[in-house]
Amino acid sequence: MRTPAKVVSAAVGAAMALLVGVEGIKYKAYQDTGGVWTICYGYAQGVRPGQTATPQQCWSMLQTEAQATANAIVPYLPATINPNQLAALISFCYNVGNTACRNSTMFRLINEGNWVAAAKQFDRWTFVKKKDCKVRSNNCYGIVLRRQAERTLFEKPYAQ
């Protein structure tokens, strides 16, 4: 059984709202805390030093990438997933990559129906280049805040 299109659509919209908050926006290419060249709302595919983008281009990149991330992970998730859970996973996978996401313990737990244990997995993904981001002096504490926001959304009941 497939995840209904209306669930995916609602989740992509909610994920975009979350991503705007956790990624922030920069119109000129920069290196993120992992050293990856990034632009706009954390977009990293083919980004070059010195590259710039307009607000409209950034929004388009975000829409395209959020939808692509949803398309890449939905086939590996149970059809019972709700839009909040899927939105949190879109944000998470957008950040760590679809392959790492699909191969994670979190996905295994979700597919086993262990939603509570799966939610706790967000707390484990707080390292960048082997640096523990819970240590503020490592200058990557934003990833801790991001995982908290993703977990909160994942655990939030969905009201239609």
Distance of alpha carbon 55 from alpha carbon 81, whole angstroms = 32
For this structure, is 123 an active site residue?
Answer: no
User: Quick one: how far is CA 41 from the chain centroid?
Assistant: 11
For this structure, is 112 an active site residue?
Answer: no
Distance of alpha carbon 121 from alpha carbon 4, whole angstroms = 25
Catalytic residue annotation: 23, 32
